[in-house]
Structure 1
Amino acid sequence: MAISPDDRLLRRGPIGLPPVASRTVPEADGHFGLLWGRSAPMRRVYEQITRVSDTAVTVFVTGESGTGKELVARTVHDLSRRRGQPFLAVNCGAISPHLMESEIFGHEKGSFTGAERQHQGFFERASGGTLFLDEVTEMPLDLQVKLLRVLETGSFMRVGATQQQQADVRLIAASNRDPLQAVATGGLREDLLYRLNVFPIHMPPLRERAEDIALLATHFLAEIARREGLTKRFAPVALERLADYRWPGNVRELRNIVQRAYVMAQDEIVFDECLPVGQAWREAPRAGRGVATALTFRIGTPLAEVERQLILATLEHYGRHKERTAAALGLSLKTLYNRLKEYSSTPARDEFGLDISGFDQLP
């Protein structure tokens, strides 16, 4: 019986673990493997990962820089039969072209000046597991020919060697460039694209799954809190401002912004003033951020009750930040304190069920 190249490249053998139970929806807290999100674009990614993880086909992950392509590759590995074996990620754009062949395939002692001992390449070090070649379009064209041969024959040779070795790896490649455009501009061999692009997975940019921004930001903030030992949370207005931004740097940029905001926050609440103030942030749309437009009152409601509900709703909107609430309502801070002290001794009658206990306590 003929053996396909993919079967040669991904020999399951005795190391194979039982397949992971299939699922295509995120956990209750919003994560799927190493990925986070509940939006429709991410659910499509989860379905693709579920379908391909337990197969032998090569995967090609595309998407803008910072969208999480390596996390896709790691999740595919973690759900595969090879999850108990190594996962090795290699950024082809970070390796010198002169050293790339030796790093990927290894070399024999004395094969070139400075080769003082035998060196195992990425294919050998990832044996039994998964090899992730990130930014594969940055690989020199002459080396792309050798990678194509590995995909076609399931074997490779160290630099300076005379005998071939079998490649026992799951290969996943990725690029932040459009593959067809890379072929058109000479950055990627067309025949290699056909061999890599057996099962394509595209990671959507963050701006196309804006409903996941608050979930991701809260997750990153919790990660930092566990590391630093001090829990913090976003004020609603800060999450709204994060959702307004276009995120050209995608999830990677969001993680960096959350780290900065955590440091800038003076107490346990992260307000929007902890976020950047650059031109892109100033020009971000801010529609829909008013609270008063969401309040409705019956005709004949006493003005004192209208004022009470407006103040409490605004205070909740700004994460109980009294200075920002007073500024938004055009009140002095002293007047706001007096109103809150009065409300704290009055039975709650508003329709929002807001907890006003402790509002009379000064920060």
Structure 2
Amino acid sequence: MPHALVVDDEADAAEMVAELIAGEGLTVATAGSLREARRQLALQEPDIVLLDLMLPDGSGMQLFEDGSGLSNTEVVLMTGHASLETSIQALRLGAADYLVKPINIKQLTGVLSRLIKPSVLVAEASNLFDELEAEGHFGLLWGRSGKMRSVYEQILRVSATAVTVLITGESGCGKEVVAGTVHDLSRRRSEPFLAVNCGAISPHLIESELFGHEKGSFTGADRQHVGIFERASGGTLFLDEITEMPLDLQVKLLRVLETNSFMRVGSTQAVMADLRIIAATNRPLAEAVQSGKLREDLLYRLNVFPIHLPPLRERLEDVPLIAQHFLDEVCRREGQTKRYDPQALARLSTYHWPGNVRELRNIVHRAYVMAPDEIITDECLPQADEPTTVASGAPLLHIQLGTPLAEAERQIILRTLDHLGRHKEHTAATLGISLKTLYNRLKEYATVPDRIKDEGQEQG
């Protein structure tokens, strides 16, 4: 039977938590000081410790620092309020989660249901790195380059905790795959993983989609709607393109992160939010704040643990491995085996890949279709005059040094769109962004005067 230790100098609070834990089928001991906690740890190694850091004879942090037998014990901090500092402290100490006092039974039950010994997580990590050496992948992420190994280490570091993660990187790098990997390695793995593209939902509907609404709360609300936050309860919610979320809703998301609760549209009843938030953006963070696309206070609350994904051009040594993975996938699906000609594989390994891994996948699938037999030759790959690559005859766009990144991005998108005859799908493929992202940018630019011709930029 799993064993728990509650360390809290408030005797009544400790006994109440102990009773709740016992009701979930665990044996429980309590301690009101560091000295008593050390004695209990020596008597029986607990599976989980619920730890208040403010104790009469010192800080609970000392239990981490003096090697008091917590190496194979899940630690959950108990705090008077949820804050950014609490999240950072939990991460730094290696705590798996934290609970806000007074302890909510639903949140406590959720923590206990996710109980996994650290030794199990360590064994899983070892197996993943064995697979990386043998097969070249870390879960669903492919590549053995140094930059990707650094990403894998960060994923392992944060997945064992409950802190918020912010993933940055260019479009097509695989930010959702990283978010899914964090979830799969976390203690929430048996609960839902839901992904939401904040730029793909109408600004008028996004609050209802996220938080739900009550019947009659607005015209057309003929029944209660359970939002994504409730459907992801116990699991992980991935908010992609967070900078596309309306600013007024960013304020409400900030409150959810601070209070661990939200309200459906049209309701005055708070709902506990027992879920982990992972957000992502392809915009530079400083530029997003400066341009008013992301609230600075929300950035600080989301950016507890940042993970930056390198573009594919910075890890070209991974291209052959990833290209073979995509080819194996399509071969299995189509039932016919094909392979690369060395010259074709060499060209894939030297291309700039503006669309990153997403563009590589698309080109591999296209090459499979184009190959008349089992060999994918150089001729099966897109040529210089095709819209999936940067056309050699395209006019050059000179952007002055010091131009804000958002303005440079705007000029590149609009000029590429014009060069490709206003064909949006080709433009998105050429730039390596999703069609959804392109439409979002064009909608944004429609409210800004077109300054390109007036700026007198030289073309060559």
TM-score norm. by structure 2 comes to 0.60
Name the CA distance, whole Å, in 1 between partners of 2:99 and 2:140: 28
Secondary structure of the structure 2 residue equivalent to 1:131: strand
Deviations 1:101-130 (A, max 9, x none): 000001001100011111111110000100
Q: 1:147 to 1:8 in 2, by over 3 A?
A: farther
Q: Deviations over 1:56-110 (max 9, x none)?
A: 1100000000000000000000000111110000000000000000000010011
- CA deviations 1:125-155 (Å, max 9, x no partner) are 0001000000000000000000000000110
* 2:125 partner letter: S
Q: Of residues 142, 149, 165 in structure 2, which corresponds to 1:59? A: 165
Letter aligned with residue 333 of structure 2: R
Write the distance in 1 (CA, Å) between the matches of 2:306 and 2:351. 29
Q: Percent same amino acid at aligned positions?
A: 69
Which structure dedicates a bigger proportion of its chain to strand?
Answer: 2
Question: Aligned equivalents of 1:273 and 1:8: distance in 2?
Answer: 59
Q: 2:113 aligns with which of 15, 18, 21?
A: 15
Contact 1:62-1:201 at 8 Å conserved across structures: yes
The partner residue of 2:340 within 228, 234, 237 is 234
**Equivalent-residue separation in structure 2 for 1:22 and 1:220 (angstroms):** 24
TM-superposed CA distance for 1:22, in Å, is: 2.6
Larger Rg: 1
1-structure distance, mates of 2:336, 2:136: 23
Per the alignment, in what secondary structure is the counterpart of residue 45 of structure 1?
Answer: helix
Q: 1:174 to 1:267 in 2, by over 3 A?
A: same
Aligned with residue 103 of structure 1, among 209, 230, 245? 209
> What's the counterpart of residue 354 of structure 1?
none
Q: Which residue of 2 aligns with 1:135?
A: 241
Q: In the alignment, which residue of structure 1 is the partner of 2:257?
A: 151
Does the C-alpha gap of structure 1 residues 255 and 3 become closer, same or farther in structure 2, counting only changes over 3 Å? farther
Shift of 1:282: 7.7
**Structure 2 Cα separation of the partners of residues 39 and 194 of structure 1:** 30
- Partners of 1:16 and 1:82 in 2: CA distance: 6
| Structure 2 segments unaligned to the other structure (5+ residues) | 1-51, 53-78, 88-97, 101-106, 393-460
User: CA offset at residue 162 of structure 1?
Assistant: 1.1
State TM-score, norm by structure 1.
0.75
Q: 1:8 to 1:126 in 2, by over 3 A?
A: farther
1:211 to 303, 317, 321: 317
CA, structure 1 residues 114+281, in 2 after alignment: closer, same or farther (shift >3 Å)? Answer: closer
Q: Give ranges in structure 1 of 5+ residues lacking alignment.
A: 284-363
Q: What is the Cα deviation at residue 3 of structure 1?
A: 4.4
What CA distance in whole angstroms lies between the structure 2 residues aligned with 1:50 and 1:193?
A: 23
Distance (whole Å) between structure 1 residues aligned to residue 296 and residue 227 of structure 2: 25
Higher relative contact order (CA 8 A, sep 6+): 1
CA change 1:107–1:281 in 2 (3 A) is closer
* Deviation readout 1:306-325 (Å, 9 max, x if unpaired): xxxxxxxxxxxxxxxxxxxx
- 1:41-190 equivalences under 5 Å are 41-190=147-296
Q: In the alignment, what sits opposite 1:329? A: none
Deviation of residue 179 (structure 1)? Answer: 1.1
User: What CA deviation, in whole Å up to 9, does each residue of 1:282-329 have, x standing for no partner?
Assistant: 86xxxxxxxxxxxxxxxxxxxxxxxxxxxxxxxxxxxxxxxxxxxxxx
Q: Given that residues 257 and 275 in structure 1 are in contact (C-alpha distance below 8 angstroms), is that contact kept between their aligned partners in structure 2?
A: yes
Matched, 1:258 2:373: no
CA 1:276–1:166 in structure 2 vs 1: closer, same or farther (change >3 Å)? same
- SS at 2:196 equivalent: strand
Q: What secondary structure is seen at the aligned counterpart in 1 of 2:277?
A: strand
What amino acid is aligned across from residue 195 of structure 2 in structure 1? Answer: A
Q: Kindly provide the amino acid, as one letter, of the partner of residue 210 in structure 1.
A: L
Query: For 2:246 and 2:141, how far apart are their aligned partners in 1?
Result: 31
